[in-house]
Each structure stands twice: as C-alpha cells, then as structure tokens.
Amino acid sequence: MIDPAADRMRMQDPRTQHPMPPFPKQPQAAPGLATKMEPQPDHGELSYKGHGRLSGRKALITGADSGIGRAAAIAYAREGADVALVYLPSEEPDAKEVVKLIEAEGRKAVPLPGDISQESFCETLVEQAVAGLGGIDILVNNAAKQTTQSDIADITNEQFDKTLKTNLYAMFWITKAALRFMPPGAAIINTSSVQAYHPSQGLVDYATTKAGIQAFTEALARQVISKGIRVNAVAPGPFWTALQPSGGQTQEKVEKFGSSVPMGRPGQPVELAPVYVLLASQEGSYISGETYGATGGNSL
C-alpha cells in the first residue's frame, strides 16, 4: 500500500499530482462544508508529515474547519503545536473532524464556534484561546467571505458590509486583541489572495478586502517587529475549498475551476501547509512584511 505522505514527497509532474477539472456542479449554501465536495479536498489528513518545527507552540486559526485553515491546523498539530480553531456554528461537522485529527497527534484542540463579523466575539475568542492554550504565539487570520456577483448593482449593502467585517474588521479586531498576549518570537500570518493583485470582475468586494489585507500586513509588520513579532501574508490563487461551490464562484466556473492557470488545475489546501509552517516557525526568522504567492504558475 502506498504511503500518502511518502507519495506527496515523491518527485512527480505537479500538473497531474492532484485532481484536474472538469468537476461536477455542486451547489451548497454558504459557508459550505468540505465533506460535501466532490472530489474531496486534500487538507493533509493522510499526506502531511510533521517534523517538530512548532513543538510547544500555541496557534489560533480562524476558518480552521476546512480549506486552507484546516490544512494549517493539521500541519501545526503534526509539527507539535496546540491549536484553537475558530469557525461558524454551521461548520461544526467539518470542525469536529479537525479536532479529532489534532487530538490524534497528542495535541490540544480548543474549538471556538462563532461569527467573527461580530466585534464582541472576536474579543471573546482571543480570551478563550489564551485560557485554553495557555497563551498565543501564532495567529493565522484566514477566515473569509466570498460571494460572486456579476454586476456591482447586485452587491447589496448587507453583502458588502458582511464581507468587509468578516475579511477586514475581524482581522483587525482579533489581531489587536491577540497582540496583548504575543511574546517576542511570535508570528502573525494573514491570508490574502491573488485577487489583491489581479481582481476578478465578479469579486469586487472580496478583492477589495484582500488588497486591504496586503496593506495591513505590510504596515503592521513594520510596527510590531519592534516587539520581536513577525507578520506575513500568503496569497493563494485558485484553491479547492468549500468557499468556491458555496457561492464564491458560479457553478459554471466550479466545473472548470483552476483550468485557467498555467498548471491547469486548482491547488489543494495541503499544498499551502508548508508555507504556513515556514512563516510560523523559527526557520522563517528573517521573513517579515512579505507575501508568499501560490498561484499555479501565475505571477503576483
């Protein structure tokens, strides 16, 4: 039987290493569940192998139930960290799977269901994470709302407000609260997007927030390095996550998702896990104020 972890490290053609479009239409109500996707995303459940890079660390990750946040949570646990997971209550089925995977590594999992578009919850979740983990030295601001609209006239004030509060305000609220507890050597990692550089016409509000994350990351990095804290961002291209079929893309775009990049396929969440590990670990000690792109061959 092939070991998935060993197979992922085997030299192979990256174009065919993971599933390629076309994919079936698979509409879901937002925010969507990874367990309902076809094919199932690879978050590293079987394929990520840790090497102790984050031994004893304490990580807080938003959007940790599925997608990129889930991949980071699995990788962090296998690298030796305890993890507090933030997710919407409707994402509980996915979150329970992540909790089991973290605990299977002998690490502590602190589930924190709630809506980060609410300032009061953002303050509470940081306090609960500190209480549950005994501190915070890694913060991953990853949760996001994405709703495609072909015309700006179709973006309601409610949608625009919810997107900005989920993607920008929450990052500000959580980071501000968490910095009080973060020691020298701690790391903050924000999830930006290729949309910050090359915005799609149907993602006006989402792209706006991702550009804001870029500026926030660079400004904050300059500010808090005086405290010995590093801040970086990751800018993914098309990644196969529950965000896409649950309103982030039209179902027609879901069918061919990832086909437009040079690699010809979407990225799988596990393919970003090593980047989040590097930026959180001491191996990334001289990296701050940077953005790491993973776009399937398109430049930022």
Q: 52-87 burial string, b = 16+ CB within 10 Å, else e?
A: ebbeebbbbbbbbbbbbbbbbbbbbbbbbbbbbbbb
Q: What is the CA radius of gyration of the chain?
A: 18
- Active site (annotated) includes residue 206: yes
State how far the alpha carbon of 279 is from the alpha carbons of 168, 194, 196, 253, 290, in Å.
21, 18, 20, 31, 10
Question: How far from 147 is each of 55, 87, 120, 203, CA to CA, in Å?
Answer: 37, 18, 24, 7
Can you point out the beta strands (E) in the chain? 58-62, 82-87, 109-113, 138-141, 187-191, 230-236, 291-294
Distances (CA, A) of 174 to 67, 132, 167, 234, 275: 20, 16, 11, 18, 22
The CA–CA distances, whole Å, from 291 to 102, 196, 299 equal: 27, 11, 12
CA proximity to 87, closest of 75, 77, 95: 95
Q: Which of 48, 76, 197, 206 is catalytic?
A: 206
Nearest to 267 by CA among 52, 5, 17: 17
- As a whole number of angstroms, the distance between CA 196 and CA 284 comes to 23
> CA 117 to CA 179: how far, in whole Å?
19
Q: Kindly list the catalytic residues.
A: 206
